[in-house]
Amino acid sequence: MFLKQAKRHAKIIIVALSILFLIAILNTDLSPDLYFIHWKPLENISCHYLEAEDVLPSADKVKFSSKSIFFHETSCKGGLDARQACAVESTARSHPDWEINVLFTAPATKDTLINNSVLLGQFQNVNFYRIHVVKYAEDTPLKKFVARGALNRTRWRISHASDVLRYLSLYKWGGVYLDLDVVVAKPLGSLVKNWAARESGIAVAAGAMAFSDDKVGRQVAEAAIRDIKWNYRGDVWGHNGPGVITRVLKNMCSTTDVWKMTTATCHGFEVYGPEYFYPIEWQKAHVYFERGHIDLDKAYVYHVWNHFSQHFKIQRGSPYDTLAKTFCPTAYSIFVDEFGRL
């Protein structure tokens, strides 16, 4: 009887210790994906860690100019699709004296690279590079965070890799970051040196940001990297993107009201209104792709919310069709069946 009770108690202790051990592991950068398991298969980003067959120069040790605009392609397709090519072309056309850097986290394939080079080769300010994520994070506060596989600890590996890398690039070099689902209509050089923009009344967005190499830009960049290091979460969609810049500015500007964030309250950092970068909110993203006209003359950038709109077909005569024809005419002519022309 005593022996049975001892065995039962031993089993209980082993189970309890196993649970505690699992909880401890899940709260470190060594965490497996156990608590992210759900019915959808997780995105495969093993391409981020491949080093063979690179056809692009490495960005890991490049020193970029502070007059740089960064795009990050974090899927494994090895090239740019129509919307992404339009984003890069529209930016290159409106910023001829800036470096436009497209950073791939996966090896680019020769075929897609040739296609993109034909499209964007006319712009001498467009550069393609390969990022090796572990090496790219070296000599930064996120070195161990990335090396220990934190970018795998999420349900949205492609998006959250992009979230982390945008702040990492701005921390390392300064400059401007843009999402690859934008159309750029006006030069951004006329804006203040350090800025982001509200996407709503409760959040500052991370789809377009500028952190310069001055004191204000360094302060925001360093605070963003610290926030990622200590507050990263893989179970909340926007936590590591807009969540980071929103939390940083709430602290820096001493207000939780994003409408009160100005250069005056934020010590020189500007938070622009959504009409300049996000004139159509994500809930109405379909408006970009349906036939009709929208009067959005204030916008510097049109963000088309690809996460929500990627399956929408672009109708001829739609706002996005008109934007593409106007601001990325080369992509518009090459990707005939993608811009509402059939």
Q: Which segment of 15-19, 21-25, 169-173, 304-308 scores lowest on mean pLDDT? A: 21-25
Residue % of the chain over a pLDDT of 70: 84
Predicted confidence at residue 6, as pLDDT, reads 58
For 43, residues 6+ apart whose C-beta sits below 8 A from its C-beta are 156, 157, 158
Q: pLDDT tens digits, residue range 102-133?
A: 999 988 776 666 666 666 778 889 999 999 99
Is the pLDDT assigned to residue 18 strictly greater than 80? no
Helix (H, G, I), strand (E, B) or coil at 69: strand
Q: pLDDT tens digits, residue range 187-202?
A: 999 999 999 999 988 8
Q: pLDDT tens digits, residue range 209-259?
A: 999 999 999 999 999 999 999 999 988 888 999 999 999 999 999 999 999
Q: pLDDT tens digits, residue range 280-300?
A: 999 999 999 999 888 778 899
| Residue 54 neighbours by CB distance under 10 Å | 15
For 266, residues 6+ apart whose C-beta sits below 8 A from its C-beta are 249, 252, 253
Is 166 within 8 Å of 159 (Cβ atoms)? no
Q: Which domains does the chain have, with CATH numbers?
A: 56-338 (3.90.550)
Is 167 within 8 Å of 198 (Cβ atoms)? no
Helix (H, G, I), strand (E, B) or coil at 61: coil
| Residue 135 neighbours by CB distance under 10 Å | 16
Q: What is the 3-state secondary structure (H, E, C) of 116-166?
A: HHHHHCCCCCEEEEECCHHHHCCCCCCHHHHHCCHHHCCCCHHHHHHHHHH
